[in-house]
């Protein structure tokens, strides 16, 4: 193997008179005074602007005054089951804790009698 003896080297950086680095060179300094930010409020570490308004999630069952969650109502239960077959957590759906417990029991009952799938649809 004759190519093993050939050593390739990267071309060394060529410095010109204008590019001469000085030992005290640092990043360019920021201007002494910055223009005000849009919105008229000063910026800062905690002054992040909101990108969009997030509406507070409310329990669907409390709003619609649904007392009993029926395991036979597969259309209602299907809204709270992801495509993968998992029960969607309450932090995503906005369902309150007591209704989430009843909802998960009803979903499990509906799965056992084959109204809802256990897993992903293949």
Per-residue pLDDT of the chain (122 residues; tens, 9 = 90+): 555 666 566 555 555 555 555 556 556 666 677 666 666 555 556 556 668 888 888 999 999 999 899 999 999 999 999 999 999 999 999 999 999 999 999 999 999 999 999 987 65
Q: Which domains does the chain have, with CATH numbers?
A: 68-112 (4.10.640.10)
Round to whole Å and give the CA distance between 110 and 93.
Answer: 19
DSSP structure class, residue 55: P
Closest CA to 68 of 35, 104, 99: 99
What is each CA distance from 88 to 5, 48, 82, in whole angstroms?
63, 30, 6
For the entire predicted model, the pTM comes to: 0.56
Contacts of residue 83, Cβ cutoff 8 Å, sequence gap at least 6: 120, 121
């Amino acid at each position: 193997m004759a190519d093993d003896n050939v050593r390739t080297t990267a071309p060394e950086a060529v410095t010109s008179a204008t590019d001469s680095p000085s030992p005290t060179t640092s990043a360019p300094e920021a201007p002494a005074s910055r223009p005000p930010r849009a919105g008229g409020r000063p910026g800062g570490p905690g002054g992040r602007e909101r990108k969009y308004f997030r509406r507070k999630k409310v329990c669907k069952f409390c709003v619609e005054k649904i007392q009993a969650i029926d395991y036979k109502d597969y259309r209602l239960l299907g809204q709270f089951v992801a495509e993968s077959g998992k029960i969607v957590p309450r932090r995503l759906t906005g369902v309150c804790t007591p209704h989430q417990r009843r909802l998960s029991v009803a979903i499990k009952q509906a799965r056992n009698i084959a109204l809802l799938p256990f897993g992903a649809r293949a």
